[in-house]
Structure 1
Amino acid sequence: MGAPESFTLRPCTGRAEWPTLVRIWRTAVEATHDFLTAADIDFYEFRMISDYFPAVELTVADSTGVLLGFSGLSGNSLEMLFVSGDLHGRGVGSALLQHALQQHPDLQLDVNEQNPTAVGFYERNGFRVESRSETDADGRPFPILHMRR
């Protein structure tokens, strides 16, 4: 997929779009989370629809019916932001982040410490590490950085 000519941000229409969002999530994770094994990715993928998507307000980046990425908010917490792996660095993630910041200027987020691309993205957008956890929310050995602007 090439660079998107244009796209709009809109609320996710519901469960019918979730399988597409899972595919986007998987391409993004495979492109950036080299510290995860295939079994780890499968573990989280299984939980996307059952646990993670129902817990957030999803916004999608839509280019004339083709979904490019998405974010998920729970209150002022950015719980997820993923862009199709072949579209990183083309403005989709920045647009999703700016949209979340417009809704919540006090936005906070967690990011895998072992994903330096994402950490750098958030730092370039004014976020700073407030604290660190040795494990992720599932108690797995993936350190998490807690960031805020």
Structure 2
Amino acid sequence: MAVIRKSRAQDGARNVDIWRQAVRATHDFLTPADFTAIEAMVAHFLPHADLWVAVDANDRPLAFLGMSGAHIDALFVDPACRGTGIGRALITHGAAIHPILTVDVNEQNGQAIGFYERLGFAAFGRSPTDDQGRPYPLLHMRRAAPAG
């Protein structure tokens, strides 16, 4: 299983690559122009972001999680590692820090919606556009703290 640690400066290029590969695998609804514009923002921001990364035995990032308080800003997994439990492990890690989590998911990204629903998230709202006003509706989802 992957180890989860804080991101480091040297992880920046790899994290951008993970983002790029993951978005290409799951966001087929993005126009090429929007992909290019978003990629430019991500390439500028992501290398300096405060992230949790799941790394392999060689300390190479395989996935990352970005959070603002209890809100998941980003969760991206290298497509070669999808289905291995790394995304679930990052969510579990985030929930250990903030038991009640929220996330905004592109409504057109059925794979992500299914992933979050399997982990106990449920939609509680919707926005007709993404955060930049693009025509990509967002579902607002919340995962309650486990009973116990």
Q: Deviations over 1:22-72 (max 9, x none)?
A: 100011001111101222222111111434565x53000110222101010
Aligned to 2:40: 46
1:51 and 1:133 map into 2 onto residues whose CA distance is 24
> What fraction of aligned residue pairs are identical, expressed as a percent?
45
CA distance in 1, matches of 2:63, 2:33: 23
Aligned to 2:55: 62
Correspondent of 1:13 among 8, 16, 21? 8
Amino acid at match of 1:30: R
Contact map agreement 2:11 2:47 (CA 8 A) in 1: no
- C-alpha RMSD over aligned residues: 1.4
State the match for 1:28 in structure 2.
22
- Deviating above 4 A after TM superposition, structure 1's stretches of 4 or more consecutive aligned residues are none
Encode CA deviations 1:123-145: one digit per residue, 9 max, x unaligned.
11111001000000000000000
For residue 59 of structure 1, what is the amino acid of its counterpart? Answer: W
Q: Is the 8 A contact 1:111 1:146 kept in 2?
A: yes
CA contact (8 A) 1:30 1:85 kept: no
State the TM-score, normalizing by the size of structure 1: 0.89
2:66 and 2:72 in contact (8 A); partners too: yes
1:71 touches 1:82 (CA, 8 Å); kept in 2? yes
